[in-house]
Amino acid sequence: MSETQRAQPINAQLLYLHRLSGVRYSATFESASSYALTPIHGAVRHASVKELANAEVWQLLP
Protein backbone atom coordinates (compact mmCIF):
# COMPACT_ATOMS: atom_id res chain seq x y z
CA MET A 1 0.00 0.00 0.00
CA SER A 2 1.42 3.39 -0.98
CA GLU A 3 1.77 6.34 1.38
CA THR A 4 -1.03 8.18 -0.45
CA GLN A 5 -3.46 5.29 -0.10
CA ARG A 6 -2.70 4.99 3.60
CA ALA A 7 -3.26 8.72 4.20
CA GLN A 8 -6.76 8.80 2.70
CA PRO A 9 -9.55 8.20 5.21
CA ILE A 10 -12.15 5.51 4.75
CA ASN A 11 -15.35 6.94 3.30
CA ALA A 12 -17.23 6.26 6.55
CA GLN A 13 -20.45 8.06 7.35
CA LEU A 14 -20.36 10.41 10.32
CA LEU A 15 -23.53 11.91 11.72
CA TYR A 16 -23.77 15.52 12.87
CA LEU A 17 -26.59 17.46 14.51
CA HIS A 18 -26.83 21.13 13.53
CA ARG A 19 -27.77 22.45 16.97
CA LEU A 20 -29.22 25.75 15.72
CA SER A 21 -31.77 24.15 13.38
CA GLY A 22 -32.12 20.62 14.80
CA VAL A 23 -31.31 19.07 11.39
CA ARG A 24 -29.26 15.87 11.35
CA TYR A 25 -26.68 15.47 8.59
CA SER A 26 -24.66 12.59 7.25
CA ALA A 27 -21.08 13.83 6.65
CA THR A 28 -19.06 12.39 3.78
CA PHE A 29 -15.35 13.18 3.48
CA GLU A 30 -14.56 15.41 0.47
CA SER A 31 -11.00 16.61 1.04
CA ALA A 32 -8.46 17.10 3.82
CA SER A 33 -10.42 20.13 5.03
CA SER A 34 -14.08 19.63 4.12
CA TYR A 35 -17.12 17.37 4.23
CA ALA A 36 -20.34 17.16 2.22
CA LEU A 37 -23.28 17.26 4.62
CA THR A 38 -26.47 15.56 3.44
CA PRO A 39 -29.64 16.11 5.49
CA ILE A 40 -32.45 13.58 5.59
CA HIS A 41 -34.48 16.04 3.45
CA GLY A 42 -33.11 18.93 1.43
CA ALA A 43 -29.97 20.06 -0.35
CA VAL A 44 -26.40 18.99 0.39
CA ARG A 45 -24.41 21.42 2.54
CA HIS A 46 -20.62 21.80 2.67
CA ALA A 47 -18.62 22.52 5.82
CA SER A 48 -14.96 22.76 6.67
CA VAL A 49 -13.34 20.69 9.40
CA LYS A 50 -12.96 23.93 11.38
CA GLU A 51 -16.70 24.69 11.11
CA LEU A 52 -17.64 21.17 12.23
CA ALA A 53 -15.34 21.56 15.25
CA ASN A 54 -17.52 24.41 16.59
CA ALA A 55 -19.38 22.58 19.40
CA GLU A 56 -21.87 25.44 19.79
CA VAL A 57 -23.19 24.76 16.29
CA TRP A 58 -22.38 21.09 15.49
CA GLN A 59 -22.59 17.92 17.57
CA LEU A 60 -20.99 14.68 16.33
CA LEU A 61 -23.54 11.94 16.91
CA PRO A 62 -22.67 8.36 17.92
Q: What is the pLDDT of residues 19-35, one digit of tens each?
A: 999 999 999 999 989 99
What residues contact residue 43 under an 8 Å CB cut-off, 6+ apart? none
CA distance linking residue 13 with residue 15, whole number of Å: 7
Task: Give the confidence band of 11 by pLDDT, cuts at 50, 70, 90.
Answer: low
pTM of the full structure: 0.62
Predicted confidence at residue 10, as pLDDT, reads 54
Out of 10-19, 25-34, 36-45, 49-58, which region has the weakest mean confidence (pLDDT)? 10-19
